[in-house]
Structure 1
Amino acid sequence: MNESKQDKLILLVEPDPVVASRLEDLFRGEGWVVEVRHDARRARQFLQNNKPHLVVLEPLLPDEHGLALVSELRKHPKWGFVPTLVLSEDLDPEARLRALKAGALDYMTKPYEREELLFRVRNLLQLAGGTTGADRSSRLSPEEKLLAGLLELGVRQLTPGVSRVSRYGYTVEEAFRLLDDAQPGEELDLLDELADRGKVNRQFYDVVHLCPKCGWHDLNFREVCPACESPNIKVQRMYRHVTCGYVGPRSAFSEAGRRCPRCGREVEPESLVSAGVRFHCNQCHNSFAEPIVVCRCLNCGELSDVDAVETRVIWTYQLRPAEEAEKPHKRVVEPSTLRPLLRGEAAVLSEHEILDKLEQALNEAIEKRQELSLIQIVIEGLGRLRVRVGEDKLRRLLVAAVSRLFRVLRATDSLGYYGASGFLLVLPATSLSEAKVIAERALVYLRQVLPGLFISIRLAGFPQDGRSVDELLEMLEVGIETVNAS
């Protein structure tokens, strides 16, 4: 059943009070509810808490051009299916095309013919009535539907909570309640999709380990004997007899009557020096330098090697205002081919997030008069490696590479995707000479897990190489300071 006319709400955005009054009377005469606003700012304020069935708009508004508002409505997940009729004094044929490109569904010029205007409004209201509720939601992707629901609820901050029933061990209740037929944890994947598209901001919260067999978070790590895999091991402190060099636990000297088991001489306290520790298995009596670490999944019961265990970063999320979410970054960012392989596996910032971090770090360096260094890592030959080893193994190699990169970073440093197949490291309060040492260490780690690939590392520093984000990134592209290896 169609909605009654009294249920139809029209937002009229018209700067001329006389024209607005005439249009309001015309629409109310048809039984429609009309709200009048005379500029874009007040129209936005109305839209924050209301959802009209139709927007009738004059583009020449006093505070901004109305087509900017039309474009914003079209892109917004909450208002995207509200039709817009542009009613303009502009007789230029190009004006109609500009309005339609901005997202308007219809265009009329003033002076208007009364019956034609009402006919067009009825058609648009009928269209709005057919795209509400479930029909409208079905056109949204799952992540867009989630974002629209959160915006409608007025949620701005999302913090994960511990959950035993989520595969990641965390869930965001406000987001999960908005999903249909979803498993706990799926809302985190959708929020990450929104973060990758710049719709929400995120900050690091935690890292969880996932079983490579079933993908569950509940893993039990333990050290075992490398010979019999028994966890029944103990640590023994070892001592070296300085006279003959014999190494053993203190008990070996005690059992020999305080004499060295090798040379037979009496052992004085000053003749024994520490020689580190060794491990002893109480089951097979094997002695070894290091135990091996295995993990058992408490969900599926499978034992896995630690190197095969996957990681998942847990974030907190902040929803951006609509006008900020639609604002593009000032630099054109080349999409990374690494992110689809690594997404959800490591705490690597997206292309936009790492540039935001760089801007924040640069502002802080300028304010505190500190140095700042950048390291760009470019990896070439990934396509050939993918063909040779397959996508799954390539993904594991890249995860291992990123894990090793984090070994050289401090808590204040940031790592993000940059370029088609590379990373950008932002190192606050770090000189270029210090950054070069870090870069060389990173290169050693990368060559261990990515053999046969060409890896180049470029460096740039503030203030010597530039005093703005653009200048520093351009210096990286020039590649004056480099560390290369193949």
Structure 2
Amino acid sequence: MVIEGETVEQNYSIMVLGEDGEMLDEVVAAIESDAFSVHKSVTAGLEQINTDGSHDGFVVCLPAGFQPVQESRQGTVIPPHANVMFVTRGDFDTVRFWAYQQGASDVVSWPTASTELRHRVASTVQADVDRFHRDLTEEKMLSFLRSLLDSGIQTLSPSLDSTLPNGFYYPAAVCSFGHSPYHAIALEQLTSNGIFTRRISNRLRACNTCGGTHLNYREVCTQCSSVDIVKTDTLHHFSCGHVGAVDEFRKGAGLECPKCAVVVRHIGVDYEKLSTHYRCGDCSHLSAEPGVQTQCMRCTALSTPHNTAERPIYQYTITDTAAVAAEEGRLSGLNLETVLRGGNPGLYTTQYFEHELRREMTRSIRYKSPYCVLLIRLNNLDAVRNQHAEKARDYINQVFEALSQGLRVLDTTCVWEADTLGVLLSSTPLEGGQLVVEKMQGYLQELDHLRLIQEPSITVSLISDKDENETAESTLAAAMAELNS
């Protein structure tokens, strides 16, 4: 990630989109520098945003008067894996909330200083998770591993950092991967290869709308959620039974019941002092304890602590397998992760898969967009490894190619477990997901030549939006339960 004072050495391709030609020219002029090759397109929609790799990022210019409520329709949703920043002349807080719902990487108010805009664009591009995945080669992982062994580092502990969107990084990984929010992606891959073990070191709460970890916890009225509450003593008038804040009873220098207008003089005789309460300045409601509300400092979304997402942070410890992998020059072990990762840039980590699932579930709630989650287990992989070790790598690659034939660019695939693939089918109803599974089975049947090694066989669980799971975690848990049933 870019930090203050750091020079951007790489030239990035940026596409600037918008319908206001004058604003478009201003933004292009502000971004243009040795670090960026800027292209522009006058358009009113987001249809030119693509994920074919032709551009490193997109900047969408929103003119004054832009109304997010009117524009929030299915056609304006940012495509999966697209790296998009919004620049707006409109109501910044309103646009910001809408933009992060769409999956934006950043939102900037216009006009702004050109140095600030270039810094934000560079930060957005360099913090792109897809870019991190593409750069995460086996050679780079081995170089990182050797540097740890040479320096004698046995344990990688996380460090909290408020400048990063996920809130933490691993100092021991900076030399190899930069000051990035995605260190855990590399460490998780090495863990799946048996090179690290892990234990929970900390937990963060994250926004359910944008995934940001910078949350403000504030006390609010339990009745109307107003933040205008004050801590006050409450009084109980014996005669009429009225209970209210002490301020309600004050009348000049004395006390008078606001309900029956009787002057109260003697505590214990006319009235009693109850415990401290919280009084709302908007609705006058009294409560013994205030409510607690969270507000995301990134997208401004409001929630309750219970509805925020918990993010475990791990500490990683090097195993004896690390020295073997460094000496042999390859990541040890033979499972789906180690075989498929290098030659399949569209294969993502479980963390990214869960991130995309959360985004898809958000789209489903707002736009009634369907989705399906598949977990696909290769049933006989142990037999292939044990009986035909020399052919196992080619066997796995051919099975994966067959299973991937019917998938689209917008679908997200990961290695969920050592012998299990995860597939997120975006904008796909239950019937469509069932059809995909049928086609996969058909493609496997065409691999006749692999039966000499082991007949390809899979077990599939299918969960859709119709199952009404509330979180990504519960969706994946349901898929695993179905797979193991």
TM-score range, shorter chain: 0.3 to 0.5
Which protein has greater RCO, CA pairs closer than 8 Å, 6+ apart? 2
Which TM-score applies when normalising by structure 2?
A: 0.35
Which one has a bigger Cα radius of gyration?
Answer: 1
Which TM-score applies when normalising by structure 1?
A: 0.35
